[in-house]
Amino acid sequence: MGIRLALGAQASGVLKLVLKQGAILGIIGVLIGLVASFALTGLMKNLLFNVSTTDWSTFSVIGVLQIGVALLA
């Protein structure tokens, strides 16, 4: 980032680049996590209380939260 700024890049362009790369990594991580969680729900169903093993609202809220935290980081 410092080299880009030193060579004349605008701060907004560098910020956009960092946020884009973070968003891509966050989305890939959420997708991998969704696949893994669906694969492991059979093992975890005894630990879940008042939530079905494929509760879409829980999965979507957690996914959005994780992407938000990745962008803030």
Q: What is the residue extent of each domain of the chain?
A: 16-72
* Percent of the chain residues topping a pLDDT of 70: 100
Look at residue 16 in the predicted model and tell me its pLDDT. 92
Is the pLDDT at 69 greater than 80, yes or no? yes
Residue range 30-51: average pLDDT?
82
Name the packing angle between helices 11-44 and 56-72 (round to 10°). Answer: 150
In this prediction, residue 50 has a pLDDT band, given cuts at 50, 70 and 90, of: confident
Give the other-Cβ count within 10 Å of 7's Cβ.
7
Give the other-Cβ count within 10 Å of 29's Cβ.
14
Give the other-Cβ count within 10 Å of 70's Cβ.
17
Contact 18, 1 (CB under 8 A): yes
